[in-house]
Amino acid sequence: MKEQLEALQADALQRIAATETIRELQDIKVAYLGKKGSLTGVLRGMGKLSKEERPVVGEIANHVRTAITTALEEKTEKLEQAELEKQLEEETIDVTLPGRPVKVGGPHLLTNIVQEIEDLFIGMGYEVREGPEVETDYFNFEALNLPKNHPARDMQDSFYITNELLLRTHTSPVQARTMQEYNGEKPFKMICPGKVYRRDTDDATHSHQFTQIEGLYVDKNVRMSDLKGTLDKFAKKMFGEDREIRLRPSFFPFTEPSVEMDISCKVCDGKGCSVCKGTGWIEILGGGMVHPKVLEMGGYDPEVYSGFAFGMGPERIAMLKYGVNDIRNFYANDIRFLKQYHKA
């Protein structure tokens, strides 16, 4: 019987080795190890053996079973592997064909600039506030130390709707509104971005509608050097750590002292070129210490509180930062323009 079993094993292993498909392997498994298989058939004859012979033959039978099973598994795995490789080979694609197109949208350049400035000041503890675009004469002018007939009102000829209502000429009314809301009691830092309107004929450098961002900080003991330090941080983050700033005296009715801030020209690094008109400096924004009358009208006691304010035009910043040469580009919305900057 032993010889019988060994012959069976040899026969099985030979057939397994010769097989090339998984299906045949399954057939072999059934043929040898199945209920009606050869091995089972041989083992059925075990009953005829003597008591002593049985364990010996049993052990041999187990060896044979294990040998066939192992051979089957190994061969299956080998064939499966080969099949997978064949499949992968067949599945190979041309990776240089283009991907399925995704529609690409994006923000307007000015939105990017505004958000960048917002985030920068939020990082310094500022809140962002908004206000109406149709303003009252009071908030747009009077509360900002610009009484009726003030010559500085000429600086920003306005679109009036009625005698008392107009399109805001700057975002400063949001400052006045914020002071009134905080009732002269609470120190605060805020910036206010938004659309503003002035009676200008649209050309390469003028637009009857444009964007502004202003900032205001009111507290006890605010110093002009704080304004200088804050603007320096802003300029370096916005235009590069290697930029220098310079403050120049200026005039705005709502600040005293007033400043204008220049940054060193990036094109010539301050040496003087056509971009900075040979001065080495480029004007970026205006600001100053909040005028005592403005504080007072906002409900803050100018003897106790002081503050600084500043304002800038994102269009101008975009023009300087990216070399956009005509302000009308921002409002024409030519797709070829927008696409240049939506990642900015």
Partner 1 sequence: MLVSYNWLKKYVDLGNLTPEELAAKITKSGIEVEGVEYVAEKSTNVVVGYVESCEKHPDADKLNLCQVDVGEEKLQIICGAPNVAQGQKVAVAKPGAVLPGNFKIKKVKLRGIESNGMICSLKELGIEEKYIPTDIADGIFVFPEEATVGEPVDELLNLNDAVLELDVLANRADALSMLGIAYEVAAILDQPVKLPDEAVQVEESATVANYVSVEVEAAELNPYYGAFMIKDVEIKPSPLWMRNYLMAAGIRPINNVVDITNYVLLEYGQPLHAFDYDRFGSEKIVVRRAKHDETLTTLDGQERILTDENLVITNGKEPVALAGVMGGLDSEVASETTNVLLEAAYFDAITVRKTVKQTGLRSESSTRFEKGVDPNRVRKAGARACLLLQQYAGGKVIAGTAEFDRLDRTEKVVEIDTPHINNRLGTEMTTDDIASILKRLQFDYKQDDDHFTVHVPTRRGDITLFEDMLEEVARIYGYDNLPFTLPEGAGQSGGLTVRQHLKRRVKNFVQGAGLMETLTYSLTNERDVKRLISPEVASSAASPVALAMPMSEDHKYLRLSILPELLNVLSYNRARSQVNLGYYEMGSIFISGQNELSEQPDEQLRISGALTGIWSEQAWQQEKKEVDFYVVKGIVEGLFDFLQIPVTYSQTKVTDMHPGRCAVVKVADKTVGFIGQLHPTLQKQLDLKETYVFDLNLEEVFAAYDAVPSFTAIPKYPSIARDIAFILDKNVHAGDVKKVIEEVGAPLVNRVDIFDLYQGDNLEEGKKSIAYSLLYQHPEKTLKDEEVEESYQKIIAAVNEKFNAYVRS
Instruction: Decide if residue 17 touches partner 1 (CB under 8 A).
Output: no
To the nearest whole angstrom, how small is the minimum distance from the Cβ of residue 267 to partner 1?
19
Backbone angles phi, psi at 292, to 5 degrees: -55, -30
Of 17, 51, 151, 325, the one binding partner 1 (CB under 8 A) is 151
Instruction: Decide if residue 321 touches partner 1 (CB under 8 A).
Output: no
Residue numbering of the annotated binding site = 256
Instruction: Decide if residue 189 touches partner 1 (CB under 8 A).
Output: yes
CA 168, CA 208: separation in Å to the nearest integer? Answer: 11
Copy the structure tokens of residue 228: 């200088």
CA 23, CA 25: separation in Å to the nearest integer? Answer: 5
Encoded one letter per residue, x for contact with partner 1 by CB under 8 A and - for no contact, window 247-286 reads xxxxx-x--xxxxx----------------x-x-------
Residue numbering of the annotated binding site for Mg(2+) = 256
Instruction: Decide if residue 116 touches partner 1 (CB under 8 A).
Output: no
DSSP codes joined into one string, 161-218: SSSSEEE-SSSHHHHHHHHHHHTTT--EEEEEEEEEE-S---SSS--SEEEEEEEEEE
Instruction: Decide if residue 343 touches partner 1 (CB under 8 A).
Output: no
Q: Which is nearer to partner 1, 40 or 136 (CB)?
A: 136
Selected range binding partner 1 among 13-21, 43-51, 317-325, 331-339, rule: CB under 8 A: 331-339
Instruction: Give the closest residue to 291 by CA, choosing from 302, 281, 277, 299.
Output: 302
Whose tokens are 């590069």? That residue is 240
Instruction: Decide if residue 300 touches partner 1 (CB under 8 A).
Output: no
Instruction: Decide if residue 101 touches partner 1 (CB under 8 A).
Output: yes
Selected range binding partner 1 among 1-9, 38-46, 48-56, 109-117, rule: CB under 8 A: 109-117
Scanning residues 202 to 231, which ones bind partner 1 (CB under 8 A)? 208-209, 217, 219-226, 228-230
